[in-house]
């Protein structure tokens, strides 16, 4: 027996199909709306153009030139001086500065031709963008940091956050100051520092010379003809390359002298490099075990010349308190025919180089001629 199915009602079929059609229609409408909605612009990461310490760069701005991002290291213990200067009086710019975490540090939105500020000390870096105030204009902006920025400030630029600029110098009188090629009055003059002009100070020697950047060349001025301006409490200490260094030699010397004679020795010591001290054993020879030739008194004098001679000390190794030009009398016995002397610099002495001559002379009535120095090492 065959069972025939009952045909579906048209109304019932519509009820089943309608939800599907409505779902498809909603999907099409949603997709169309999403396509028509404005899409956010993709994030553009600009490449970093790193600037060296104490340098400057010329930024050329044209309508077709893409924005460039400049980066430079911050100074960890002092502000970093930054200057921006247009090369044309009719060209203005805007600028923005952020730290390496993206936080805004400073922003110049008004058209400027010159800007200067001291960025706070940091162990990180700073990032700078420069744009033309008028997008259709063409011009160049010189960006300088550190010493290069200080060199462009004459007189020193006004600092927006009131932090002191790096140390600069100017003349202390109305006359120009001489800039030499080396820290010594014996070296050539490579230029002058005119009254009212400023130069960044790069360092100071112990004997009073200041290093500057003069016309892309290292120059030197004697400090007593200059006036310092800015943050000058921690100027780097520089070694004066003109001051010699004593050659390394024997640590211990032996100087022999006849009981009725004299003897001499010459040497040099220096700081902070080279041979910084000498130990000298004085030995009286030809003493006998019976009077009167078993005992003598000797006069010992040390004379010296050089840079830092006022800081040289000599005498017994445990207490060398004598200075250049001093004399001491030392007794020698047959049983004690040797005595040590130390030649050193006093504590915390500056850069020095001193040549000295030690003379020992018997105080007997008829001293023998001076013997040649014997500086054989012992020990």
> Where are any strands of DSSP class E within 74-156?
80-86, 93-99, 104-112, 114-119, 125-132, 139-145
- Ordered per-residue pLDDT tens for the chain, 379 residues: 444 445 555 555 455 555 655 666 665 555 555 555 655 555 556 688 999 988 889 999 988 878 889 999 988 877 787 888 888 867 888 888 998 888 888 877 667 777 766 777 888 899 999 988 888 889 899 998 887 776 665 444 443 334 445 788 889 888 899 999 999 999 999 999 998 888 888 899 999 999 988 777 789 999 999 998 888 888 888 999 999 999 888 778 999 999 999 999 999 999 999 999 999 999 999 999 998 999 999 999 999 999 999 999 999 999 999 999 999 999 999 999 999 999 999 999 999 999 999 999 999 754 444 444 444 444 3
The pTM score is 0.55
How many Å apart are CA 222 and CA 212, to the nearest integer? Answer: 11
pLDDT per position as a tens digit, 159-207: 333 444 578 888 988 889 999 999 999 999 999 999 888 888 889 999 9
Q: How far apart are CA 218 and CA 239, in angstroms?
A: 14
Residues in CB range of 367: below 8 A, 6 or more apart: 260, 261, 262, 361
- The full set of domains in the chain, from first to last, is 48-151 (2.60.120.1220), 168-238 (2.30.30.40), 252-371 (2.60.120.380)
Torsion over CA of 6, 10, 13 and 18, rounded to 10 degrees? -170
CB 126 within 8 A of CB 149: no
Short-list 231, 188, 233, 237, CA closest to 209: 237
**116, 159 in Cβ contact below 8 A?**
yes
Alpha carbons 322 and 313: distance in angstroms, whole number: 5
**Residue 151, SS3?**
helix
CA distances 137 to 59, 63, 67, 92, 134, Å, are 14, 7, 14, 9, 5
Lookup: tokens for 155: 């007189």
């Amino acid at each position: 027996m065959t069972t025939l199915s009952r045909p579906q009602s048209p109304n019932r079929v519509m009820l089943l199909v309608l939800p599907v059609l409505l779902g498809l229609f909603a999907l099409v409408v949603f997709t169309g709306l999403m396509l028509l909605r404005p899409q956010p612009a993709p994030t553009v990461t600009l490449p970093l153009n790193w600037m060296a310490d104490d340098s400057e760069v010329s930024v050329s701005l044209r309508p077709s030139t893409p924005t460039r991002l400049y980066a430079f290291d911050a100074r960890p213990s002092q502000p970093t001086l930054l200057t921006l200067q247009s090369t044309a009086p009719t060209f203005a710019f805007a600028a923005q500065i952020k730290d390496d975490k993206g936080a805004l540090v400073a922003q110049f939105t008004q058209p400027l031709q010159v800007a200067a500020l001291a960025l706070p000390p940091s162990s990180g870096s700073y990032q700078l963008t420069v744009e033309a105030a008028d997008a259709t204009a063409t011009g160049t902006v010189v960006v300088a940091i550190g010493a290069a920025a200080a060199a462009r400030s004459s007189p020193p630029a006004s600092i927006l956050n009131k932090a002191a600029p790096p140390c600069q110098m100017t003349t202390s009188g109305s006359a120009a100051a001489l800039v030499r090629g080396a820290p010594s009055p014996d070296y050539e003059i490579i230029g002058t520092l005119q009254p009212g002009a400023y130069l960044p100070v790069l360092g100071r020697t112990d004997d009073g010379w200041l290093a500057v950047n003069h016309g892309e060349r290292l120059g030197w001025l004697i400090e007593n003809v200059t006036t310092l301006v800015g943050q000058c409490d921690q100027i780097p200490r520089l070694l004066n390359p003109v001051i010699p260094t004593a050659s390394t030699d024997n640590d211990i010397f032996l100087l022999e002298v006849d009981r009725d004679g004299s003897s001499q020795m010459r040497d040099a010591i220096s700081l902070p490099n080279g041979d910084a001290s000498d130990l000298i054993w004085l030995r009286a020879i030809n003493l006998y075990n019976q009077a009167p030739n078993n005992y003598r008194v000797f006069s010992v004098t040390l004379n010296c010349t050089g840079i830092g001679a006022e800081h040289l000390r000599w005498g017994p190794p445990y207490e060398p308190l004598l200075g250049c030009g001093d004399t001491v009398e030392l007794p020698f016995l047959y049983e004690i025919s040797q005595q040590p002397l130390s030649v050193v610099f006093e504590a915390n002495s500056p850069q020095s180089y001193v040549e000295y001559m030690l003379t020992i002379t018997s105080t007997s009535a008829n001293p023998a001629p001076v013997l040649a120095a014997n500086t054989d090492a012992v020990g």
